[in-house]
Amino acid sequence: MKREYRSWYSDRLQREMNIRVYGHAGTPLLILPTQDSMCDNFENFGMIDTVAPEIEAGKIQLFAVDTVDRETWSNVWGDKGWRAARQEDYYNYLIEEVLPFIRTENGTGRLPIAIGCSLGGLHAAIVFFRRPDLFGGMMSLSGVYDAKFFFDGWEDGTLYQNSPVDFLANLPEDHPYISLYNQKKIVLCVGQGRWEDEGRRTTAIMRDIFAGKGIHAWVDFWGYDVDHDWCWWKKQLRYFLPYVLGEQG
């Protein structure tokens, strides 16, 4: 399997940011790590091995990025307004720096699919639902979609833009993004076992928003034995990957 390590200094984040690229061709996947993790996250927990056959066959090419979660979602003692603004900086880094890099490196012209587990699932939802014109689909496993959960119930206009349960709930039913969403493959999956309470709660909210807005999405609640853990995310990634790649209906 072809592996490459890239980095550059981000003016938006004022720091060096890293990307790991897995594979030589195929549909690009933007990989958003779990909370506080970096671009080696999926590899360290065996997720790259889980989809190695597809990578080696040239069906998919993965682009795994760093996070700044320790300054934003996890920075519980920090100024909330600053934390929200920093998250917006990270969103802009992904949209304005990472996506052009993916387009150049991948070269297929295909739009990337955003994929993440846990807090990475929130990041995937943020970028996809804010800019469906730039993505081919999304898969969020055990995501929590209410940004206020990480901010003790606080929210300002900037954090609102990074809280899918809020900005989607207020999306007009004739908004052009809805037809764009419905041209893409959308997966939200959550278990009902240990450590999934908030994921379960907010995934149910997202399901109801989708139903009310006419947004077509696969929202799947797995069993009460399915915990918030890598062993299940590996199974879910393999299960949903053919769907988001358009290989099944």
The residue segments making up the domain with residue 102 are 3-244
Q: Is residue 249 part of a domain?
A: no
> Per-residue pLDDT tens for 119-133?
999 999 999 999 999
Contact 26, 61 (CB under 8 A): yes
Per-residue pLDDT at 22 exceeds 70: yes
What gap in Å lies between CA 189 and CA 140, rounded to an integer?
A: 6
Q: Is residue 104 part of a domain?
A: yes
Q: Is residue 196 part of a domain?
A: yes
Indicate the number of domains in the chain. Answer: 1
Query: What amino acid occupies position 25?
Result: A
Radius of gyration of the chain from Cα atoms? Answer: 17
Q: Is 227 helix (H, G, I), strand (E, B) or coil?
A: coil
**Which residue is listed with tokens 């996506």?**
99
Whole-number mean pLDDT of the chain?
Answer: 97
**pLDDT tier, 247 (very low <50, low <70, confident <90, very high otherwise):** confident
Q: Is residue 130 part of a domain?
A: yes
Global pTM value: 0.97
Q: Within a 10 A sphere around the Cβ of 245, how many other Cβ atoms? A: 18
Residue 56 belongs to domain with CATH number: 3.40.50.1820
Q: Within a 10 A sphere around the Cβ of 85, how many other Cβ atoms? A: 14
Q: Any bridge partners for residue 218, and if so which?
A: 187
pLDDT more than 90, % of the chain: 98
> Per-residue pLDDT tens for 155-186?
999 999 999 999 999 999 899 999 999 999 99
